[in-house]
Structure 1
Amino acid sequence: MGSTVKRDDIPERPAVTGKLSDRVYDHVLSQITVGIYPVNSRLPPETRLADQLGVSRPVVREALMRLRDDGVVASRQGAGSFVMRRPAADVYNYAPVGSIADIQRCFVFRIGIEGEAAALAARDHDPEGLRRIRDAIAALDQVIADAALGVEEDIAFHRSVAEATGNRFFAATLAAIQSQVSVGITLNRNLSLIQPRDRLLRGQEEHRAVFDAIASRDEARAREAMRSHIENARKRVFEGG
């Protein structure tokens, strides 16, 4: 159904260092993203991918398992692996080469850490902590009004929630991974700026849902609101939602 993309039309991506299965994951995902492997097409067998990329079959198998976990490919008994969906093509215009696997992992890590931070902030925040979260949301409102990128303001919102827990280890954890968090947020906000304005507004509504739950001291709702926000951000990046 989709248009066929010739391999010669795709620029060679620079070599990626790091874990071998990350290299395979990034390679296969990029081939799916640019349309070399269209939706519903069958991926090459593990042995052929291993030969092409100069890695072992177990390395390919690990990468394909993660692609299945992400819902990008699916296995059919006796038939191999098939492409189920194509990530947003613009991801590769903004993401650093070789970082896709780690960006995915960082989103998943943040869901756990920041979900619990929001719950504790709901339980333990003081007036000053709540004020900082409210100020961070106001700053993001201004970013949207100005059609600006707003990466620092977005990071400040998440940091203010972590600080509102009163437990310094949550803020310290976010600070320790700030460069990785910044990559994910920058990618999300860049992609949002080239989409209809409604996409940015949805993200801001999710921020407000987190704030409202924290202000109401509703731990369960705050946890779920933050987890949903970060998962939705991941989907907006990788699924174009």
Structure 2
Amino acid sequence: MPPVAAESAAPAESAADAVFEAILAGIVRGDYPPRSRLPAERDLARQLGASRPTLREALGRLAEWNLVEARRGSGVVVRDRSDWSIEVLPAFLRYGGGSVPPRELVQMIDDLLALRRALVVEVVALVAPRVDAARLAAARDAAERAWRARDDAAAFARDDFALIRAIVDAAGFLPGVWLINRLAGVYLDLARTITGAAPPPDDYLDTATSLIDALARGDATGAVAIERAYLERHDARLLARIRGDSR
């Protein structure tokens, strides 16, 4: 199967985080199937060793991901998988892999990367004509941080996304910043989940510098071409490694 970290929870920062992760794992594994009802609040809190306010906080976060919903007379019900939010994908790989064929898991990763490519390239195309060259210093800093962190997949992914966010911010395109923030959370969680991720291409820093330089001189067409080519190359290398490990 794909090189997914052993069934280990994402780092928990609070009691609510731990409860959230425990219920999330149960839903994704199928312990709580779609359209089933979760145990009553008092019983579930006792099972998880949590207070009821902590449990409610965790359930609220699960509802934000469209995993559960409160129904009058039925308690809290697990929603169908087709209703789930994209944020669930890394957890699905962590906890649900045992019930899904490896080829299907690889396809999910491929689909997420394709979605990222499409969104990031389109965002670059939108903001390129508006970028203020004087505000690109943060993008250059992010590219250098990403390159220094290239041996740490999660740290590299974080700073690589910071590069794109800085470019979008340099254009004053706030909706684009919000979109990048939302996608970054999923992608960074995925980077923590997948082990053995392919390192960035050797020309990463040169490519990032070329992208920023193209934006600084107002070359929108060149900037889009550079970003598209980089993402296609990086994602192809990552998928090749994952597919090799899944055979």
- Normalised TM-score (structure 2): 0.49
